[in-house]
Structure 1
Amino acid sequence: MKFLKSLDSIFILAITLLFVYDFFPDIPFADAIPKGVLIILILVCLVFSLLSKKHRNPDNKTTLKWQIFLTLYIMMLMVIFPLLGGKSSSGISFDSEFLWIIILIALFDIYSQWKKVKRSEA
Structure 2
Amino acid sequence: MMLVLFMVTVYRNRNRNTDQKTVFRSHLFFLVYIVALMALLTGLGGKSQVGISFDKGIFWAALAIAVMEISFQWQRMKQEE
Regarding TM over 0.5, the answer is: yes
Q: Does 1:116 align with 2:76?
A: yes
Q: Deviations over 1:42-98 (max 9, x none)?
A: 57526624xx43x31110011000011000000001100011221111121111111
Q: Which TM-score applies when normalising by structure 2?
A: 0.85
Gap regions ≥5 residues in structure 2: none
* Runs of 4 or more above 6 Å deviation: none
Identity %: 36
Q: Does 1:45 align with 2:5?
A: no
Instruction: Measure the CA separation in 1 of the matches of 2:34 and 2:6.
Output: 17
Instruction: Measure the CA separation in 1 of the matches of 2:6 and 2:76.
Output: 27
Counterpart selection for 1:82 from 34, 42, 63:
42
Question: Paired residues, what number?
Answer: 81
* Matched residue SS, 2:26: helix
Counterpart selection for 2:58 from 98, 102, 108:
98
Instruction: Measure the CA separation in 2 of the matches of 1:58 and 1:47.
Output: 11
* Larger helix share, 1 or 2: 1
Q: Deviations over 1:23-45 (max 9, x none)?
A: xxxxxxxxxxxxxxxx5x35752
Gap regions ≥5 residues in structure 1: 1-13, 16-38
Q: Which has the higher contact order (CA 8 A, sep 6+)?
A: 2
The structure with the larger Rg is 1
Q: Which TM-score applies when normalising by structure 1?
A: 0.59
Shift of 1:108: 0.9
